[in-house]
Structure 1
């Protein structure tokens, strides 16, 4: 996706924030870095997201201009850092063992120094959904859980050496039957993790092998599993529902009713992105937008 150069936005004095709008409660947003989508969504909702999450691939420098534009508005920042490289029109995963061995340290240190230059804390989710079986950097014969843990700990140590102000957020996918490793096998340890995240979606009937699931059916087993693993605070890093197969607005209302049962969940990032298969954005219907606005007011 082509994005507007943030340097140009900064020079133009562009502000993402809806002036005078109240915060969107416990909700953050995962969003494209295009300089337009965030402000447009907030104007529709009439509230401001105090936390913003975005994606960056391997070899891509930390997006300091974008981060500065957001911190100028006192937003919390989170980077979903994916160890993959686009090559020949397809993504290729960066082996965890090569990261753990220090083969990418020049790039990693430059990334860490850019974060330090920002002068504000940044949360980093390295290799989100590492327990999956659909992405370029996930587990396989040459990418073991042990390799992942060693890579995570190495990155943590390098950022600490560079004095970068980082919170490390370990974010697997929600539990599913064909996962290649348990949460426990992939957990780097409390000394290397500041927060635990979970990514999960209600796919509805967008494909033949899924069915409509409530918010609690989607997340409850995984929340219990990570709560048994660690007492670190929990966030939901990617949350959304499809429209097909039920009521997305009803799903959002159910989320709002159910969330107080899980006080360990401190923040949710709505996944406001349309991918090639499903439109996960809040703006897929006016009913969904209205349900979200009602939830924020509650």
Structure 2
């Protein structure tokens, strides 16, 4: 289950700064707790992927490209809250795979699995690289 920490507004509250401060000072705790409480009621095993692709700086996600220590602190806060409400979750840390992604790793006590995003679009690869790319 991917949980994206958007504020879902079109005003100043939908900014990286507001989100980062809101997580740090507990403003979003009730919302985070509510989401995790629902996860805790599920009967199937659940992997939680929170604030993925944090190592990307293209502006797509307001939680991405934070200072690593800010991201790690926010990630740990969310996982602590979630594990209190849904103790059987598995936690997935999922960077985009950019150079330096390891700086955002929250630690073995907070991560059960690591997943890297992989995207491919053959027409783009042919246009850009002259041929489809292989892993």
TM-score, L = length of structure 2: 0.79
Q: CA deviation at 1:98?
A: 2.5
What SS class does the counterpart of residue 119 from structure 1 fall into? coil
Could you give the per-residue CA deviations for residues 18-72 of structure 1, whole angstroms, max 9, x where no partner exists? xxxxxxxxxxxxxxxxxxxxxxxxxxxxxxxxxxxxxxxxxxxxxxxxxxxxxxx
* Partner of residue 67 from structure 2, selected from 122, 137, 144: 144
**Structure 1 residues 170-249: aligned runs within 5 Å:** 170-175=93-98, 182-206=100-124, 210-211=128-129, 212-216=131-135
Runs (5+) with no aligned partner, structure 2 = none
Q: CA deviation at 1:157?
A: 0.9
Q: CA deviation at 1:101?
A: 2.9
Instruction: Name the CA distance, whole Å, in 2 between partners of 1:105 and 1:202.
Output: 36
Runs (5+) with no aligned partner, structure 1 = 1-78, 217-298
Give the equivalent residue in structure 2 for 1:233: none
Asked which structure has the greater RCO (Cα within 8 Å, sep 6+), the reply is: 2
What SS class does the counterpart of residue 39 from structure 2 fall into? helix
Q: Which has the larger radius of gyration?
A: 1
Give the equivalent residue in structure 1 for 2:79: 156
**Alignment RMSD (CA, Å):** 2.6
Give the number of the structure whose residues are more often strand, by fraction: 1
Give the equivalent residue in structure 1 for 2:4: 82
Change (3 A) 1:193 1:84: same
Contact 1:129-1:173 within 8 A present in 2 as well:
yes
TM-score, L = length of structure 1: 0.39
Instruction: Name the CA distance, whole Å, in 2 between partners of 1:96 and 1:209.
Output: 38
- Tell me the matched-pair count: 128
Give the equivalent residue in structure 1 for 2:49: 125
Q: CA deviation at 1:129?
A: 1.0
